[in-house]
Structure 1
Amino acid sequence: MIIDAHQHFWDPAHACYPWMNGPELAPIRRPFGPADLAPLLEANGIDASIVVQCRSSVAETEEFLAVAHATPSVIGVVGWADLTDAKLGDTLDRLRALPGGAKLVGIRHQVHDEADPDWLLRADVQRGLAALFARDLAYDFLVRTRELPAAIATAKAFPQARFVLDHSAKPPIADGGSAEWADRIAAVAACGNVWCKVSGLATEAKWSDWDAERLFPFVRHVANCFGENRLIFGSDWPVCLLAGSYGEIKSALETCLAKLGASVREKAFGVNAKAAYRLAG
């Protein structure tokens, strides 16, 4: 099974997406749903996808579970729930009891938008993570270089849990990279319970001036750090449309991964996502 482990659905007319402000995001400030994604998956040889949260809303998670219930190709949902809520466990149990609830595979919060770089280490957040892991769900780290130390400490605090690092922690590709990002990627990869999504890279480059060759040093670094068993492909559609089409993004990442070996490419496009999220089938 070929899996796109990171895509989104949204409708700005239906809900507020604070991160979607700014004229540069106008091309994606419109509805995107399963009917838009289906032909892209078929055209690019993708069998299934995982839909990932876009806003801090339990209602959105409920909507995504309903979509997953009605859409066989959506095999997993990484939703949102309030990690600081003392009743988080009850919320998670309720979500899992909904139609499509069996497809809830993880939770994510937009940590890189928090003012505190150590937000993950707050006592109430750590309590919430414990409730999450007690239900055998994964946690997606949405962080940049600044928040990686807190992510590393969190991964170490829960050695039996499963974490997925989104977008390779958003390396500063447009600026030529940074030694700090590279060093912290190596440190988080040393935690054997963290997988890394090779996703969202083109939009960290200059949107109108990138190609597989320019992405490759960053893909190679995360591959060297995480190894072939913990790399996961994700398109980051429709955010990726700011930099290129679905096909262009998929092709560029496939080229990068294939340069590292056929096994690296094959595992990143399915096997590793199934392991990280404990996907059925």
Structure 2
Amino acid sequence: MPVIDAHQHFWDPATGHYPWLKGSFDPIARPFGPADLAPELVREGIDGTVLVQTWNNLGETWDYIGVAAATPFVAGVVGWVDLTDPSIKPTLTALKASPNGRWLVGIRHLVQDEADPNWLLREDVRRGLATVAEAGLVYDLVIKPPQLPAALRTVADFPHLRFVLDHIAKPDIKAGAFAPWAELVRQFEPHRDHVWCKLSGMITEADWQNWTPQILKPYVDEVLQIFGPDRCMYGSDWPVCLVAGRYAQVIDALRKCLEHHDTTSKEQIFGRSAVEAYRLPSLYEGPL
């Protein structure tokens, strides 16, 4: 089973819109591309990655599937389309039918940045989600705890759409806000037949200078209790993670959190879950 990093990004501040790349994020306010990530993957034995959208822009999606076609380690792309656009169906059809369309495996919108915590419940958004399901793609949920109730209703209302919960829904690890987050995330358990969760993004929700694997472990344990190893996957969130730790530190922290799990569970989390959830081209051999 290949080892998969299910969540990484490329960007160039000169061509994309990243208003958050300032202040404490200044160290990563520069271009990041395949040549920057490749050595990290080789060092850590990573065979492939899922390249995930960084801003709500269709052009990036077209660019990303081209990058995937030209980059041996990119195994799939989670791109962006406007869920509220009445023309979403022909847009997805064009993307999938394009020469590089096979690399598009999922769709994501930066729901975490929407002022309305119930944005996912809008009728135009729901029509878009239905179209994503019809296209056979995954929908990645990038949300924060205030948006969890809307996300829970959404996964309940779309049982035929595969969802991936990014960054364990971004609990405030630095503040130790475990219980309110856990109470909500536990409500995903009845829907784990079509919902996966990424063990990713945790170090940037913790104290950047003082986090340890031991601080992350209760969150990892809780997610595994809710979803099970067969619905959890590793993601580095590179290069966002670099503000709080090196790539090696991110993956080593998760390895430490999983020390007492068996080999089968680790293989699932570090590879098989991503292959199955995203049906990664050239890797997935299960039923469509």
- Length-normalised TM-score, structure 1: 0.97
May I ask how many residue pairs the two structures share in their alignment? 280
- Structure 1 distance, partners of 2:84, 2:260, is 42
Show the counterpart of 2:84: 84
Show the counterpart of 1:30: 30
Moved more, 185-194 or 254-263: 254-263
- Structure 2 distance, partners of 1:73, 1:124, is 35
Show the counterpart of 2:232: 231
- Structure 1 distance, partners of 2:260, 2:113, is 34
Amino acid at match of 1:226: F
Amino acid at match of 2:74: V
- Structure 2 distance, partners of 1:244, 1:236, is 11
The equivalences for 1:80-159 within 5 A come to 80-159=80-159
- Structure 2 distance, partners of 1:248, 1:15, is 28
Show the counterpart of 1:268: 269
- Structure 1 distance, partners of 2:257, 2:178, is 20
Show the counterpart of 2:9: 8
CA contact (8 A) 2:171 2:181 kept: yes
Show the counterpart of 1:174: 174
Q: Tell me how far 1:100 sits from its aligned partner.
A: 1.9
CA contact (8 A) 1:190 1:225 kept: no
- Structure 1 distance, partners of 2:203, 2:115, is 26
- Structure 2 distance, partners of 1:95, 1:71, is 18
- Structure 2 distance, partners of 1:5, 1:66, is 18
Q: Secondary structure at the match of 1:210?
A: coil
- Structure 2 distance, partners of 1:231, 1:85, is 31
CA contact (8 A) 2:164 2:197 kept: yes
Q: Give every structure 1 segment of 4 or more consecutive aligned residues whose post-TM-superposition deviation is greater than 4 Å.
A: none
> What are the ranges of 5 or more consecutive residues in structure 2 without an aligned counterpart?
284-288
Q: Tell me how far 1:279 sits from its aligned partner.
A: 1.4
- Structure 2 distance, partners of 1:235, 1:187, is 25
Cα 1:260–1:175 change in 2 (3 A) is: farther
- Structure 1 distance, partners of 2:131, 2:152, is 19
Q: Tell me how far 1:23 sits from its aligned partner.
A: 1.1
- Structure 2 distance, partners of 1:2, 1:267, is 9
> What are the ranges of 5 or more consecutive residues in structure 1 without an aligned counterpart?
none
How big is the alpha-carbon RMSD for the aligned residues of Structure 1 and Structure 2?
1.0
- Structure 1 distance, partners of 2:258, 2:129, is 32
Q: Secondary structure at the match of 1:229?
A: helix
CA contact (8 A) 1:65 1:99 kept: no
- Structure 1 distance, partners of 2:256, 2:100, is 34
Q: Tell me how far 1:140 sits from its aligned partner.
A: 0.2
Show the counterpart of 1:222: 223
Show the counterpart of 1:204: 205
Q: Deviations over 1:76-123 (max 9, x none)?
A: 000000000011011111111223210100000111111111100100
Q: Tell me how far 1:177 sits from its aligned partner.
A: 2.3
- Structure 1 distance, partners of 2:48, 2:116, is 36
Q: Secondary structure at the match of 2:258?
A: helix
Q: Secondary structure at the match of 2:259?
A: helix
Q: Secondary structure at the match of 1:251?
A: helix
Q: Tell me how far 1:178 sits from its aligned partner.
A: 3.0
What percentage of aligned pairs have identical amino acids?
A: 51
Q: Deviations over 1:6-49 (max 9, x none)?
A: 000000012221232x3100011000000111111001100000
Show the counterpart of 1:41: 41
Amino acid at match of 2:172: P
Q: Tell me how far 1:216 sits from its aligned partner.
A: 0.4
